[in-house]
Amino acid sequence: MSAGQSPRVGLFITCLVDLVRPQIGFAAVKLLERAGCIVSVPSSQTCCGQPAWNAGADGHAADIARKVVDAFETFDHVVAPSGSCAGMLRRHYPEVLANDPAYASRARALAAKSHELMSFLVRVRGMKDTGISCDVRVCYHDSCSSLREMGVKAEPRQLLASVQGLALDELKEPEVCCGFGGLFSVKYPEISERMGDDKVADALGSGADTLVGPDLGCLLHLAGRMERQGKSMRVRHAAEILAGMGDEPALGEPRK
């Protein structure tokens, strides 16, 4: 773990985690604190604006991005338990706000300190061992934004490998999209379904009992698809396992 002052981290909770699975947020806080960070959660955050940006609603995206810049620019780092939302801040905000003289440079500054959770823990905080044990056999689904936009591949696998009792199976096609794609999943559900089914078949064939990933969007799509077909495999965010919450009900499982 790196020495020196504790960095102040703004947790970008993401709209999906906030609404559907707060547990991932608490897992992120636990991991960040274990990595020596002081974590704050600005209450003025809502969403990163990606649905608007990807739909071409540039005005809405810019309005929302300005709010995020306002809320997070004072932190040393901004961390999101999502490659997709972190990618929006890091790769797209400079473009979203490029034509706003009051915000362009601030957006670039925010982008430079925005991170996906697991890559932040490993790259910036030097985390090697989670100190957790969990008897589980997982396969890891790289989200496209984590993998290609944020370049995150080794870090989550490294952290998962440090969990005692955990076995990690690789998917046959880890680089292929699962078909979520935000609004794509509702605009072209049948295409999304085919892509999801290919991913589900890959996961079921891996021998793992649990599918984990860095992005709740993909996981909701895949878990929802499995539930519709009555296929049994647990689906949860990788951070839950890393934070010792691997025994909680998985996505779509009834709560006791």
Q: Identify the CA nearest to 204 among candidates 192, 216, 196.
A: 196
- Report the site for other proteins in 180-199 (rule: CB under 8 A): 180-196
Find the part of the chain contacting other proteins (CB under 8 A) among 15-23, 100-108, 157-165, 238-246: 15-23
Site membership for other proteins, residue 27 (CB under 8 A): no
In angstroms, the CA 177 to CA 31 distance is 27
Pick between residue 163 and residue 203 the one whose CB is nearest to other proteins.
203
Cβ 189 vs Cβ 214: under 8 Å:
no
**CB of 66 vs other proteins, minimal distance in Å:** 9
Which two tokens mark 195? 């892509």
**Which tokens hold the place of 59?**
């005005």
Stretch 118-177 residues interacting with other proteins (CB under 8 A): 144-145, 148-149, 175-177
Nearer to other proteins, 114 or 146 (CB): 146
Contacts of other proteins in 29-48 (CB under 8 A): 41, 43-47
For other proteins, the closer of residues 60 and 106 by Cβ is: 60
Q: What are phi and psi for residue 166, nearest 5 degrees?
A: -95, 135
DSSP state, residue 172: S
8 forms part of the interface with other proteins (CB under 8 A): no
What does 16-46 look like in DSSP terms, one character per residue? HHHHH-HHHHHHHHHHHHHTT-EEE--TT--
Tokens of 186: 């509702």
- When the beta carbons of 2 and 74 are compared against other proteins, the nearer one is 74
Stretch that binds other proteins, among 2-10, 53-61, 97-105, 207-215 (CB under 8 A): 53-61
